[in-house]
Amino acid sequence: MKDTSVPDQAVSQPAHVLQHLTQALPGLTPELQKTATYVLENPNEIGVSSIREIAVKAKVKPNSLVRMARRIGFEGYENFRKPFRDRFAAVSTIIETRLNGFSRWGRGANRTVFMQRALPRPSPILKNFTL
């Protein structure tokens, strides 16, 4: 059996976790492949949805998410989920900071002014973030 264990620090970014999951996909059981496929197709849900919500949407049992995480080298599902939650928290902080700055401009500012001032240049964190 191929060694799929990965130290947590090696997969601190969601993209690294997804890459590792993609590489491990062929060696997973059919149920874990179904679970992993859902995660790969819906990565933005991992950081914001509960394990039960994801399991329902993936049409698997919550324990399948735990087994998938362990199978690819994480201690458990929360360790697997952490990079996704951290990314979401970072993006939320950027958005909140920029929106707070926008509120100082008062009412009546048009949408173009908001976009130019709130997002003057794309943030590296926002670059690959989708909703």
pLDDT single digits (tens) 74-130: 999 999 998 888 866 555 555 566 666 555 555 555 555 555 555 555 555 445 544
Measured torsion, CA atoms of residues 22, 24, 30, 36, in degrees rounded to the nearest 10 = -40
Q: Which two tokens stand for residue 115?
A: 């976009």
- 2 in any annotated domain: no
Contacts of 88 (CB under 8 A, 6+ apart): 44, 47, 48
Whether residue 109 sits in one domain with residue 63: no
Whether residue 95 sits in one domain with residue 69: no
Q: What domain range is 109 assigned to?
A: 86-124
Whole-model pTM over 0.75: no
Q: pLDDT (tens digit, 9 = 90+) per residue, 22-67? A: 999 999 999 999 999 999 999 888 888 899 999 999 999 999 999 9
Q: Determine the Cα–Cα distance for residues 126 and 131; give it in Å rounded to an integer.
A: 11
16 pLDDT tier (thresholds 50, 70, 90): confident
Whether residue 104 sits in one domain with residue 65: no
Task: Count structural domains, the chain.
Answer: 2
- 6 in any annotated domain: no
Whether residue 111 sits in one domain with residue 63: no
